[in-house]
Structure 1
Amino acid sequence: MRLHRNLCFSVIDGLTLIFNEGNYADKVIQQLLKRDKRWGARDRAFVAETTYDIVRWKRLYAEIAEVKEPFDRDNLWRMFAVWATLKGIKLPDWTYFENTPTRKIKGRFDELSKIRKFKESIPDWLDELGEKELGKDIWTKEMAALNEQADVILRVNTLKTTKEKLQAELFDLDIETDYLPDYPNALKLKERSNVFTTEAFQNGFFEVQDASSQLVAEFLNVKPGMRVVDTCAGAGGKTLHIASLMENKGQIIAMDIYANKLHELKRRAKRNGAHNIEPRAIESTKVIKKLYDKADRVLIDAPCSGLGVLRRNPDAKWKLQPEFIDKIKVTQQEILQQYSRMVKVGGQLVYATCSVLPSENQQQVDKFLTSEAGKNFTFVKDNKVLAHKSGFDGFYMALLERKN
């Protein structure tokens, strides 16, 4: 591979914004990709994947390059040189790469790869927490899996098409996909591709949604004609899936504390042809109280640490703080206590997170079931999805039923 100066400069600019100014990696990369209209698919892929790679391995590369935060541009070029050397890419004779100690880099990599917190490039506190909650063996395997690049998975919108028809339509565009056993509406891209520019996407035939995330709506046991409440709907990935499972029959009330996310959901619902979704912003507890004892199904896709989705959000490792995890666990329990009251007698509730930590998952469910609000519920089943076993994001979901 030959390195091109303008592409490498874009990567360095992006890393400056992510590491030194705290910007979100996905937003930064979106901006970088708009820089030069002459860039082809390969150029754009280089900028996105290289930036994500260096973000993912920040601690390891910084340690090898012997640089410390905040990183100035020279520091970032040193980290870039580490990335290129470890990828086997020949460094051009640019000023930034003068005196790069190639042999030393490889030696330091071998040495640091024996220590998990460097090998998997994670903060000390997070490494300790993961091992404490999951045990050394599982945490080691899980972190390795969470550092792999995520596959692109599509969820077929069955309101508009079938898996077979969509696969054929994409094949005609030279986008090849595979079926995934045990994921009824999923197609996996064989190679990464910008599927958002396709007519099939613009017509609402599919959404991009990880395979693990697709399990949540299925877990909710919805049927056409029900009244379903998605309490932390956000921009509606799972809401749209629920709408397709309900065949547009019945009512889905999509709630969130952020009205702007619900605006995005409205736009997506229109494209998907999902007509049974009613967005409601949670501006006060009245919105929730009005629905007490009214819902056949309630989904609580709770705010969480997001540790299960590090493959697609590698910068989260550096933004997360132990205090945030402590606070979010309090919020999770408050939401469970309050939102569970919307489930009617005989109805069901799913509590889900995209975390792999038991303290955010089964321990929250156990705590709820022993509380005053939870005494009316019985535990039906749960699903602990670990990335190293599934090959997809880490997720948790528990199904509870309100007793007669």
Structure 2
Amino acid sequence: MLRHSPSALPACSASSCCSATAIAATDAQRRMNVRKTALSLLRDAEAGDKYIALTLDGYLNANPCDARDRALLSTLVYGVTERRVPLDYFIDALAADPKKVGARMRQILRLGLYQLMYLDRIPPHAAVAETVALGKSAGERAFLNGILRGYLRRGAEIPLPTDPIERRAVETGFPAPIVRLLDNNLGEDADRALRALTTHPPITLAVNTLHRTRKDALAALHAAGIAAEICADAPRGITLLQNLPYSTLCEALGDGNFFVQDEASQIAVTALDPRPGEFGADVCACPGSKSLHAALLMQNTGEIHDFDLHASKLPLITASAARLGIDILDTEARDARTPREDLCGKCDFVICDVPCTGLGVMAKKPEIRFHDPDLYKTLAPLGGEILRASARYLRRGGRLLYSTCTLTRAENEDNFRAFLAENPAFAPLDFTVGSVASRGGFVTLLPNGRRDGFFIGMLQRTGD
């Protein structure tokens, strides 16, 4: 955050001094407004169990602001959400009676402590003063001041939990039940996954190869001064090495020449290998990136039926397809558990990306870490049911992609293996995409700071 200070301004006339004072006051007021907005968005998202990205984007779209305010607001909203566990731990350690800290006051303290603990560029005195000012009464302001100054005096002396799981929760920012869940499912890889999930992954683009090559797109980005590089394992992917407004990308590449898709998702569609002229279905299609990518591989020939439970989401697919010049997608509202009988036995390929707990995308959607850790017990059976229904679409020799963006065995390989055990007319289909190779027809991609955690399973109908 850029700031004006008296030492940075020319020492001249009284009018200059007055201007400096006015600028400082305006800057302080601007920061105060950003913190008030952050508090409101955080309370709204937590109370309504909403995705913070949607809450923040909705506000910014309706209330345009300058780059400094936008950056600070995003940092505070995402940071407090991601670090809620350690923030609450220190609040509870500093409060005389943690149970008496109400929801609003706790959220204000999270904002203040986050700035003290993680934002080096904000001076402690400013973080304390501007957080205390969020209190509505003298009593609230005294309480906030006491907790925050207490942290400055003795925060370093507060011991971390002695329980290993609780300690890792405070250190990583993930609730203990999620740490335990990842331990149970990933074993020795759990810590590596947790570290990666604390890193904000870069944005990955899929190049519309109907219009231009990836090499040409990368050159166009470099010519526009945009730092980017090709994805190691996704043949049509480009990783952006800096955050940019969508409009800047459109200026560099052309609006219809790319779409956003994580590298792991691109790898999954590449493994499926949709071919020109084929007939396919995407049973849980929205927001549509897998179908769009499949259409690129098919050179916009053939046909893909895109189904989704929510009719209100289908315009996302049709709008994206129109923007990209893709016209082989047919959208329809449908529950994936009840396939269209007239299409059964006719598909060359099926994309079956089922609803899941989303543990592999917690870096992008930090609030997922606060979901019920037992949710997989409900979603795993649903995924299995959708897989069984979707397999009916395949003709003999047809291929099915079963994928999730989560990391539990129950939702992933257990469902995949159970289906194969129950259905002798299907067999695992191994694949290699770049350095990613399956074993027994599937692979789990751990999050690595550049791509999501993802499960990719491939099977083929070999009999009737």
One-letter identity of the residue aligned with 2:215: E
Equivalent pair of 2:279/2:302 in contact (CA under 8 Å):
yes
Secondary structure (helix, strand or coil) at the match of 1:77 reads: helix
| 1:168-187 equivalent positions in 2, closer than 5 A | 168-187=219-238
Q: Which of 143, 146, 154 is the equivalent residue of 1:104?
A: 154
One-letter identity of the residue aligned with 1:333: G
Deviations 1:320-371 (A, max 9, x none): 2144321111111111111101110011111100011111111111111111
Moved more, 285-294 or 251-260: 285-294
- Where does residue 86 of structure 2 map in the other structure? 60
Report the Cα offset of residue 7 of structure 1.
1.5
One-letter identity of the residue aligned with 1:79: R
Moved more, 168-177 or 53-62: 168-177
Report the Cα offset of residue 35 of structure 1.
5.7
Distance change in 2, residues 1:70/1:329 (3 Å) = farther
Q: Which of 66, 78, 97 is the equivalent residue of 2:109?
A: 78
- Where does residue 347 of structure 2 map in the other structure? 295
Equivalent pair of 1:112/1:118 in contact (CA under 8 Å):
no
- Where does residue 426 of structure 2 map in the other structure? 377
| 1:1-400 equivalent positions in 2, closer than 5 A | 1=1, 4-34=31-61, 36-37=63-64, 39-66=65-92, 71-87=102-118, 88=120, 89-91=122-124, 92=126, 93-94=129-130, 95-96=132-133, 98-99=145-146, 100=148, 101-108=151-158, 115-135=167-187, 137-196=188-247, 198-199=250-251, 203-282=255-334, 287-318=339-370, 320-371=371-422, 374-380=423-429, 381-388=441-448, 391-400=450-459
Equivalent pair of 2:337/2:386 in contact (CA under 8 Å):
no
Secondary structure (helix, strand or coil) at the match of 1:75 reads: helix
Equivalent pair of 1:353/1:396 in contact (CA under 8 Å):
yes
Distance 1:188 1:21 in 2: 33
Distance change in 2, residues 1:161/1:41 (3 Å) = farther
Moved more, 156-165 or 301-310: 156-165
Distance 2:201 2:351 in 1: 25
Equivalent pair of 1:288/1:339 in contact (CA under 8 Å):
no
Q: Which of the pair is proportionally richer in helix?
A: 2
Distance 1:244 1:287 in 2: 25
Report the Cα offset of residue 378 of structure 1.
0.6
RMSD: 2.4
Equivalent pair of 1:20/1:70 in contact (CA under 8 Å):
no
Moved more, 160-169 or 193-202: 193-202
Distance change in 2, residues 1:167/1:69 (3 Å) = farther
Distance 1:267 1:403 in 2: 36
5+ unaligned residues in a row in structure 2: which ranges? 4-27, 93-97, 134-143, 430-440
Distance 2:44 2:382 in 1: 30
Report the Cα offset of residue 167 of structure 1.
2.4
Distance change in 2, residues 1:263/1:83 (3 Å) = same
Identity of aligned residues (%): 26
Secondary structure (helix, strand or coil) at the match of 1:290 reads: helix
Distance 1:19 1:346 in 2: 47
- Where does residue 15 of structure 2 map in the other structure? none
Deviations 1:144-195 (A, max 9, x none): 2112112111111111222232223333443221122222111111211112
Report the Cα offset of residue 9 of structure 1.
1.5
Report the Cα offset of residue 128 of structure 1.
2.2
The TM-score, its normalising length taken from structure 1, stands at 0.91
Equivalent pair of 1:112/1:119 in contact (CA under 8 Å):
no
Deviations 1:188-232 (A, max 9, x none): 112111124534576211111111111111011211011111111
One-letter identity of the residue aligned with 1:90: P
The structure whose Rg is larger is 2
5+ unaligned residues in a row in structure 1: which ranges? none
Q: How many residues align?
A: 398
Distance 1:339 1:16 in 2: 40
Secondary structure (helix, strand or coil) at the match of 1:340 reads: helix
Equivalent pair of 1:291/1:342 in contact (CA under 8 Å):
yes
Distance 2:159 2:198 in 1: 16
One-letter identity of the residue aligned with 1:375: P
Distance change in 2, residues 1:31/1:307 (3 Å) = same
Distance change in 2, residues 1:119/1:226 (3 Å) = same
